[in-house]
Amino acid sequence: MNAKDPEKLFLEKVQDFLDRGTENLGNRTERRLEEIRGQALMAAAQKRSSFLPPRRWVLAGSFAMVTLAAVGLFLWLSPSTETLPAGEIEDLEIITSQERIDFYQNLDFYRWLGSKEDHLRPNGKGL
């Protein structure tokens, strides 16, 4: 130590003063600090038991990601083999068409009417 350095001397005095201040805090304060430390240790133990270690989080996360990627890849690569049955397509046309529903209920009548009209208009003329 450079004895002539007033700042070092000053800092040593300050450190000595501050260290002495922690030596005897009094029984009440020391007991209270022990209690506080005990509470903190309990909280730390709870935290440790409620969480997986970080390494296990990484393993669990990696496993979940790999599984998700495999399922996604399988679904993307597998060709769609399902075909809609013909009856379902007809129903779909009826539902999506803008015709009124009674048109489909009387479809036989309109077919008959259509054939009659064709019969009356042999050259696209008539009616």
Partner 1 sequence: MKSVRYGWQTETKDPMESNLDSKEMMNRFLAEVERRAFQMAKFATGHRDEALDLVQETMLQFVRRYSLRPRQEWKVLFYRVLRSRITDWYRRTFVRRKILAWLGRPEEEDAEDPLQSLPDTGNPNPSDHVIRQEERGLLEKGIRALPPRQQQAFLLRAWEGMDLKQTAFIMKCSEGSVKTHYSRAVHTLRALLEGIYS
Binding site for partner 1 (CB under 8 A): 6-7, 9-11, 13-15, 17-18, 20-22, 24-26, 29, 32-33, 36-37, 39-41, 43-45, 47-48, 51, 53-55, 57-58
Which CB sits closer to partner 1, 33 or 65? 33
DSSP assignment of 14-67, as one string?
A: HHHHHHHHHH---HHHHHHHHHHHHHHHHHHHHHHHHS--HHHHHHHHHHHHHH
Which CB sits closer to partner 1, 37 or 121? 37
Which CB sits closer to partner 1, 13 or 116? 13
CA pair distance 110, 93, nearest whole angstrom: 18
